[in-house]
């Protein structure tokens, strides 16, 4: 524990859930706990007292709004920039403009959702590998706790066999 972190690897999410409950009983703050896994975990495998928060709904809504607005303006401004003689009819009718606007909404939402997922996962940056990260490749759940030297290590009792194995 030279880096101030106590690491433990668990074979199943149920074992990790028990350890997280034990950490909550010991009074460990949720911001001092990090849970990592190579597979998505259930919603109940989170530190006690913390809530899952994501910016994805808001960023996708904003991206959809910006994308739809940008594509609608592209249709509108293009038709005004290149006036064609159409005999009194609009250069671009509303149904085709609606289709293009819808595609702008879709691409805006998709691109901002993907960007937000990448940023929330920390994928653009490289994180230094931890001492037990090889367990993540084996579909184990890794829990790291930032703690003092005298911290209770009882919650790691189930993980010792996994960490050595």
pLDDT in tens, 72-123: 999 999 888 887 888 888 888 889 999 999 999 999 999 999 999 888 877 7
Q: Hey, what long-range contacts does 39-43 have (CB within 8 A, 24 or more apart)?
A: 39/139, 41/13, 41/16, 41/141, 42/13
Q: Using CB atoms within 10 A of its CB, is residue 92 exposed (0-12), middle (13-18) or buried (19+)?
A: middle
Residue 97 lies in a domain: yes
Encode pLDDT of 43-60 as tens digits.
Answer: 667 777 677 678 999 999
Task: Check whether residue 82 and residue 44 sit in a common domain.
Answer: no
Task: Check whether residue 64 and residue 106 sit in a common domain.
Answer: yes
Task: Check whether residue 46 and residue 62 sit in a common domain.
Answer: no
Task: Check whether residue 92 and residue 72 sit in a common domain.
Answer: yes
Task: Check whether residue 47 and residue 76 sit in a common domain.
Answer: no
Task: Check whether residue 73 and residue 117 sit in a common domain.
Answer: yes
Task: Check whether residue 111 and residue 145 sit in a common domain.
Answer: no
What the block records as the tokens of 135 is 């367990």
Residue 115 lies in a domain: yes
As for how many domains the chain has, the answer is 2
- The per-residue pLDDT of the chain, averaged, comes to 81
**How sure is the predictor about 67, in pLDDT bands with cuts at 50, 70 and 90?**
very high
Question: Are 142 and 129 in contact, with CB atoms under 8 Å apart?
Answer: no
Q: Domain range spanning residue 75?
A: 56-121
pTM score, whole prediction? 0.63
Secondary structure of residue 31 in the 3-state scheme: helix
Q: Tell me the C-alpha distance between 5 and 32, whole Å.
A: 9
Lowest mean pLDDT among 3-17, 33-47, 151-165: 151-165
**How sure is the predictor about 8, in pLDDT bands with cuts at 50, 70 and 90?**
confident
Residue 148 lies in a domain: yes
Q: Tell me the C-alpha distance between 122 and 77, whole Å.
A: 38
């Amino acid at each position: 524990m030279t880096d101030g972190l106590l690491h433990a690897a668990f074979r199943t999410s149920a074992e990790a859930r028990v350890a997280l409950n034990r950490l909550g009983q010991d009074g460990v703050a949720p911001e001092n706990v990090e849970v990592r896994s190579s597979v998505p975990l259930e919603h109940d495998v989170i530190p006690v007292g913390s809530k899952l928060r994501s910016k994805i709904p808001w960023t996708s809504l904003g991206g959809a709004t910006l994308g739809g607005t940008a594509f609608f303006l592209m249709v509108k401004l293009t038709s005004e920039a290149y006036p064609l003689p159409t005999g009194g009819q609009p250069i671009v009718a509303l149904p085709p403009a609606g289709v293009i606007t819808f595609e702008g909404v879709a691409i805006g939402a998709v691109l901002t959702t993907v960007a937000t997922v990448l940023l929330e996962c920390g994928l653009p940056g490289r994180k230094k590998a931890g001492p037990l990260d090889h367990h993540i490749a084996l579909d184990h759940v890794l829990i790291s706790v930032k703690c003092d030297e005298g911290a209770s290590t009882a919650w790691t009792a189930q993980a010792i066999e996994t960490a050595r194995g």
